[in-house]
C-alpha cells in the first residue's frame, strides 16, 4: 500500500489557507504517495477539488483523519480531532507547541509522530521549509496595506493642479521577515519609511530597502536570529528615543514577537497619546498580547485620535499565495523522506529531529518539555 497523505478542511473558524495546493499535490504523487482529501479542502483558498487530479476525495474529515499515514495541516487540531488520528501516524504543520500541555500529552499517548514547524532549527538548509518566515512575509505585506487603507493620508507624494501633497511617514518596528516586508511594501506605495529593531545588524537591511534606520543606542541581539528581552534601563533608553520617532509618523506598524512568549510591549500609552491626530497603528503582534498599549486582538480601537488595529491570523487574508508558500514549505520538509511511495524518517537528520515534537510515545523536544513541565 502506498503512503497515504491526508488533508482536511481547516477546523479553525476563519482559517482560509490549505496545507496542500494542486501543484504540490502532483509532486507528492510523483514520489509514489496517494492523496486523500476532504472535499472542499481548498475551496476557501480558491482551489477546486478537480484541480487536485487523481487525489481521492471524501466528504467527511473523520475519514481522512482515520486513514491518513501523514496528515498535513495549517492550524493545530482540536483534542477531538487528535483523538481520531490513526495511532502511529505522522502529523506535520504548525502546532503552537507552547500553548497546550494537554494536546501534547494526547499526541504522546496515541503514539503520533508530530512535527511542529515552529521548532525548525534556524539554519540555512531549513530556509526552504520555514513556514514562519513565509507566512510572516505575507503578514508584513498585508499590514502595510491595512495601514494604507486606514490612513487618512496618501502614502505617496502627489502633485496636483493646486500644489503638492507630501508623502505619509511610516515607521515599522521590528525588522524580521515581516517587518522588512512591511518596509518594502510601504516604500513601494510611496511613503517615507523608517524602521527600527533592537538588533544592530538589521540597520543595513533596513537601509537597503530605502528606509531610514531609527538608532536608539540599544542593542538586544539574541540567539537563533531572535532578539533577547531588554533590561529595564535599556527599555527606558529605547522608549525615550523611539517615542520621538513614533510621534512624527502617520502610520506605525509593529511586528516584534518572541516565540512561545507574550509579545513585548514596546509602544506605551504615553507614546500613543503623543501621536498625530488621525494616525494609524497596525499591531501585528496582537494575537500574543500586542506591542502597543491599547491593542485589542481582532479589534479596531480608537485611543484619542489614533486608530489602533489588532489584526489576527493575517496570512489567511491572502489564502492563495499564503497556501502556495506554506504547501511548498511542508513538501520541502517531508519529501526527502518519501521514497518509492513509503515514508522513511531519518532521525540523524538535524532538521527532522529538531522539528520533532512527539514520537514513539515520547515528547522529543527538550525546550517544549521544559517550558510545559512535561
For residue 216, the surrounding DSSP H or E stretch is none
| Helix, strand, or coil (residue 343) | strand
Distances (CA, A) of 26 to 30, 32, 96, 340: 6, 10, 29, 15
- The set of catalytic residues is 122, 127, 130, 133, 226
Contact yes or no for 110/57 (Cβ under 8 A): no
What is the DSSP code (8-state) at residue 313?
S
CA atoms of 163 and 157, how far apart (whole Å)? 11
Residues 278-313 as b/e (b if ≥16 CB within 10 A, e otherwise) read ebbbbbbbbbbbbbbbbbeeeeeeebeebbbbbbeb
* 78 backbone φψ class: left, alpha, beta (φ>0; ψ -120 to 50): beta
CA atoms of 38 and 42, how far apart (whole Å)? 9
Residues 92-125 as b/e (b if ≥16 CB within 10 A, e otherwise) read bbbbebbebeebbebbbebbbbbbbbbbbbeeee
Amino acid at each position: 500500500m502506498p503512503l497515504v497523505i491526508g488533508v482536511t478542511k481547516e477546523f479553525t473558524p476563519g482559517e482560509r489557507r490549505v496545507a496542500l495546493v494542486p501543484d504540490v499535490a502532483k509532486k507528492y504523487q510523483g514520489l509514489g504517495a496517494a492523496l486523500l482529501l476532504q472535499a472542499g479542502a481548498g475551496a476557501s483558498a480558491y482551489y477546486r477539488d478537480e484541480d487536485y487530479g487523481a487525489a481521492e476525495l471524501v466528504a467527511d474529515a473523520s475519514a481522512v483523519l482515520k486513514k491518513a499515514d501523514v496528515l498535513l495541516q495549517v492550524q493545530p487540531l482540536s483534542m477531538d480531532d487528535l483523538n481520531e488520528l490513526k495511532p502511529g501516524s505522522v502529523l506535520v504543520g504548525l502546532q503552537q507547541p507552547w500553548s497546550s500541555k494537554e494536546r501534547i500529552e494526547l499526541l504522546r499517548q496515541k503514539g503520533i509522530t508530530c512535527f511542529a514547524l515552529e521548532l525548525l532549527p534556524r539554519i540555512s538548509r531549513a530556509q526552504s521549509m520555514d513556514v514562519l518566515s513565509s507566512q510572516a512575509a505575507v503578514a508584513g505585506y498585508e499590514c502595510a496595506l491595512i495601514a494604507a487603507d486606514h490612513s487618512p493620508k496618501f502614502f505617496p507624494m502627489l502633485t496636483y493642479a493646486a500644489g503638492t501633497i507630501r508623502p505619509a511617514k511610516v515607521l515599522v518596528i521590528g525588522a524580521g521577515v515581516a517587518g522588512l516586508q512591511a518596509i518594502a511594501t510601504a516604500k513601494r506605495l510611496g511613503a517615507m519609511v523608517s524602521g527600527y529593531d533592537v538588533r544592530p545588524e538589521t540597520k543595513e537591511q533596513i537601509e537597503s530597502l530605502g528606509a531610514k534606520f531609527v538608532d536608539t543606542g540599544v542593542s538586544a541581539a539574541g540567539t537563533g536570529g531572535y532578539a533577547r528581552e531588554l533590561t529595564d534601563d535599556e527599555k527606558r533608553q529605547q522608549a525615550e528615543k523611539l517615542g520621538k520617532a513614533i510621534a512624527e509618523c502617520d502610520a506605525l506598524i509593529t511586528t516584534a514577537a518572541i516565540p512561545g512568549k507574550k509579545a513585548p510591549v514596546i509602544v506605551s500609552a504615553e507614546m500613543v497619546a503623543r501621536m498625530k491626530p488621525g494616525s494609524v497603528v497596525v499591531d501585528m503582534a496582537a494575537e500574543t498580547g500586542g506591542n502597543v498599549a491599547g491593542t485589542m486582538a481582532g479589534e479596531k480601537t480608537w485611543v484619542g485620535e489614533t486608530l489602533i488595529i489588532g489584526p489576527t491570523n493575517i496570512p489567511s487574508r491572502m489564502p492563495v499565495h499564503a497556501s502556495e508558500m506554506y504547501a511548498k514549505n511542508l513538501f520541502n520538509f517531508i519529501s526527502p523522506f518519501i521514497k518509492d511511495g513509503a515514508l522513511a524518517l531519518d532521525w540523524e537528520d538535524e532538521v527532522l529531529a529538531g522539528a520533532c515534537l512527539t514520537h514513539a510515545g515520547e515528547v522529543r523536544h527538550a525546550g517544549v518539555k521544559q517550558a510545559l513541565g512535561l
